Amino acid sequence: MEYVNAFWVGGLICVIGQLLIDLTKLTPARIMVLFVTMGVLLGGVGLYGPLVDYAGAGATVPLCGFGWALSEGVRKAVVEQGFLGVFTGGLTAGAAGTTAAVFFGYLAALVAKPRVKT
């Protein structure tokens, strides 16, 4: 049942993104920022954590899951370090994802052949 819940929750998040692309004039970059911001906001008010508990990877893999991870990192760092945690918690929590994105982006740049988009 875990896989089913992950599938339908992750799919619903993707459907929302596709509807935003198809029905609004928002650019994909703005939609990505919107998803990360919504993950931070929903995580900050405590609504995204139960969704992660229910759907697992279906809620953590999309971009809003990255935003939730940032908010959780800040929350934990504030408890441990006080006000300084506001500045360091998100960086610590998001370090693995950011490092993976840079690393695999670099590998893709080495393999891909650049060309002018027509």
User: Tens place of pLDDT for every residue, the chain, 118 residues?
Assistant: 889 999 999 999 999 999 999 999 999 999 999 999 999 999 989 999 999 999 998 998 888 988 999 899 999 999 999 998 899 888 888 888 889 989 999 999 999 888 887 7
pTM for the predicted model, two decimal places: 0.79
What's the CA gap between 23 and 76, in Å, rounded? 38
Neighbours of 34 (CB within 10 A): 17
- Whether the CB-CB separation of 85 and 79 falls below 8 Å is answered with yes
Domain spans of the chain, in order of start: 2-111
What's the CA gap between 76 and 41, in Å, rounded? 16
b vs e for 15-25, b when ≥16 Cβ sit within 10 Å of the residue's Cβ? ebbeebeeeee
